[in-house]
C-alpha cells in the first residue's frame, strides 16, 4: 500500500495549542507527518529555529509518525526531496482563506503533483495565533489554554529577560 507523507510547514514562533491540534489531526490521517520549521533570514523571530524545533519535539513525542525538521528555500523543493505528496495547512477562519489559497495555487503551479490539504483546528483555537501569543506574553497576560506549559515557561523566560533590559 502507498504511504502518504505530508509536510506541515510553518514559522511556529512559538508553537501554539492550535498547531498541536492540527498536528494531532494530521497524524491520524497521514502515514507520516513532517512538521517543518521555515528558516527565514528575513524575519527576526523571538525563538531560533533550533528552539522552535525543540519546543515542537517536546510537545509531539507522543505521536510516533510525527517528525520535526527545518527547511529553507521553496517548500515544493523540500517536499520533493522528502518524497512527500501533501502539504497540510490549517484554516481557522475565512480571513485565513485568501492567503492560504494563494499559496496553495502557487505551490500547485510550481509542482502540480503536490496536494495542499486544509484542516480546521478545534473551534476553541480559531482565534489563536503565534503573533497574539507573543503579544500577550510580552504584556504579562494569561496564556492558559493557548500554549503548552513548556512553551509558556520559555516565553516568560525570554520576554522576562527582554523586559528587564528594556527598563
Binding site for ligand PNS (CB under 6 A): 9-11, 38, 74-75, 103, 106-107
Catalytic residue among 19, 25, 89, 134: 19
Nearer CB in complex with ligand PNS: 74/161: 74
Residue 103 CB, shortest distance to ligand PNS, in Å, is 4
Strands, E, within the chain: which ranges? Answer: 5-10, 32-38, 66-71, 86-90, 115-119
Nearest residue to 115 via CA among 2, 38, 7, 26: 7
3-state secondary structure 67-95: EEEEECCCHHHHHHHHCCCEEEEECCCHH
Catalytic, 150? Answer: no
Catalytic, 89? Answer: no
Catalytic, 19? Answer: yes
Catalytic residue among 43, 64, 109, 167: 43
Catalytic residues: 19, 43, 92, 130
Amino acid at each position: 500500500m502507498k504511504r502518504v507523507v505530508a509536510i506541515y510547514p510553518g514559522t511556529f514562533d512559538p508553537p501554539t495549542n492550535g498547531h498541536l491540534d492540527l498536528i494531532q489531526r494530521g497524524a491520524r490521517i497521514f502515514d507520516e507527518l513532517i512538521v517543518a520549521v521555515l528558516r527565514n533570514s528575513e524575519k527576526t523571530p523571538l525563538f531560533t529555529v533550533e528552539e522552535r524545533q525543540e519546543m515542537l519535539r517536546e510537545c509531539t513525542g507522543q505521536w510516533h509518525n510525527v517528525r520535526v525538521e527545518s527547511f529553507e528555500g521553496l517548500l515544493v523543493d523540500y517536499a520533493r526531496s522528502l518524497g512527500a505528496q501533501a502539504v497540510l495547512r490549517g484554516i481557522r477562519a475565512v480571513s485565513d482563506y485568501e492567503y492560504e489559497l494563494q499559496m496553495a495555487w502557487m505551490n500547485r503551479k510550481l509542482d502540480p503533483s503536490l496536494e495542499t490539504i486544509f484542516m480546521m483546528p478545534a473551534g476553541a483555537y480559531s482565534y489563536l495565533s503565534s503573533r497574539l501569543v507573543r503579544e500577550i506574553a510580552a504584556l504579562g497576560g494569561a496564556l492558559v489554554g493557548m500554549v503548552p506549559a513548556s512553551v509558556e515557561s520559555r516565553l516568560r523566560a525570554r520576554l522576562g529577560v527582554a523586559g528587564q533590559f528594556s527598563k
